[in-house]
Amino acid sequence: MVQYVGVENMVRLIAAIGIEPYLIGLAGYIEEDFRRWSLFEKAPRVASHSADGVIELMPTSDGELYGFKYVNGHPKNTRTGLQTVTAFGVLSDVETGYPRLLSEMTITTALRTAATSAVAARYLAREDAAVMAIIGLGSQSEFQALAFKALNGIRRLQVYDIDPAATAKFRANLAGHGFEIEVASSAEAAVLGADIITTVTADKLKATILSDNMIGAGVHINAVGGDCPGKTELQRDILLRAEVFVEFPEQTRIEGEIQQMEPDFPVTELWRVIVGETKGRRTEDQITIFDSVGFATEDFSALRYLRDQVEGTDYYDEIDLLTEPEDPRNLFGLLSAPAAAPRAVLGAR
């Protein structure tokens, strides 16, 4: 039997732990796995692109566990009442190849993306950073705000979205969470005086969400929305003025903001900063960019954290995903055996 964490149990688990404590715990696992970077198998995600969006597989292994995530990105889905991003993931034992955990990863991806952003900002933003601008108030925006509050102490938000309904949704969802929220009339107004700028728009195109003249000295940019070929948010000139930090360069050069740049454009891998091999922010005036596209090790961390949180609880079900013939060499025998009472496909632990 395989542990299965569906949406209902995931929601119950978050409610029991609290979303901010969950983000803090998840961030610890993400940072721990960045410190173990050399142990992981690493490759750009396998992507199937179409005119409507992308479907991706994101695998990795640390030699003991193997994990992968299936995820899509279809911006037009919201027009027909569907989500832009959905996902599920699997965590398996390398020794046997048996999957041990199957989980929803739509909520989990939003959590791990936000937690990774906040971890990066610990090393890249100024220590006195107090104000964050968020451009794009879609499904990821509340998670970003809460992660930066929980891990970085950010409470003042300056926000902008072209859709008033998205802005209303954002404010309603974060009411009572201790934020001071200013709704700006434009992206330019939102970033004015911000110490951290998060861009997290959804349109699958090259856009100029931030132009060079909008960015002053000392700002940290958390560039989240550029996450596939042909989709960017930052004007190229900003990258030329900043130091750019990435997860896995081979993937980011295909999908991130730096796809606009020459193949040898210099970047720094985030794990090198976390382990102390190199510095993140060097001066108060430096402009730093976390060119975040999401990498498989972060999903691995999220699955590992989830596995540990549900162990010994009732926040998961068990499913008979795997066959269990009495003789492991006689698979056909399962089909030819006398009919037995059907087993429940989904049963309580």
| pLDDT tens figures, 113-152 | 999 999 999 999 999 999 999 999 999 999 999 999 999 9
pLDDT of amino acid 349: 46
Q: Residues 62-89: what's their mean pLDDT?
A: 94
**pLDDT at residue 347, rounded to an integer:** 47
In whole angstroms, what is the distance from residue 119 CA to residue 25 CA? 11
**pLDDT exceeds 50 at position 225:** yes
- Residue 84 has a pLDDT of 87
Residues that are catalytic:
227
pLDDT tens per residue across span 163-203:
999 999 999 999 999 999 999 999 999 999 999 999 999 76
Q: What are the tokens at 224?
A: 């989240």
- Six-digit token string for 102: 């199957």
Residue 48 CA to residue 59 CA, distance in Å, equals 15
Mean pLDDT of 42-55: 92
- CA quadruple 16, 22, 24, 25: dihedral, nearest 10: 100
pLDDT at 345 (0 to 100): 47
Q: Is the pLDDT of residue 280 over 50?
A: yes
Provide the pLDDT confidence category of residue 204 given band limits of 50, 70 and 90.
low
- Where do the DSSP E strands lie in 110-153? 131-135
pLDDT at 242 over 90: yes
Q: Quick one: pLDDT at residue 343?
A: 52
Distance, in Å, from the CA atom of 239 to the CA atom of 61, rounded to the nearest integer, reads: 32
pLDDT for residue 205: 72
pLDDT tens string 3-48: 999 999 999 999 999 999 999 999 999 999 999 999 999 999 999 9
d(CA 276, CA 115): 20
| Distance in angstroms between the alpha carbons of the first and the last residue of the chain | 10
Question: Quick one: pLDDT band at residue 230, thresholds 50, 70, 90?
Answer: confident
Q: Which two tokens stand for residue 216?
A: 């002053």
Q: Is the pLDDT of residue 346 over 50?
A: no
Helix (H), strand (E) counts: the chain: 11, 18
| pLDDT at residue 73, rounded to an integer | 87
Give mean pLDDT, residues 311-328: 95
If pLDDT is split at 50, 70 and 90, which confidence band does 341 have? very low
pLDDT of residue 298: 98
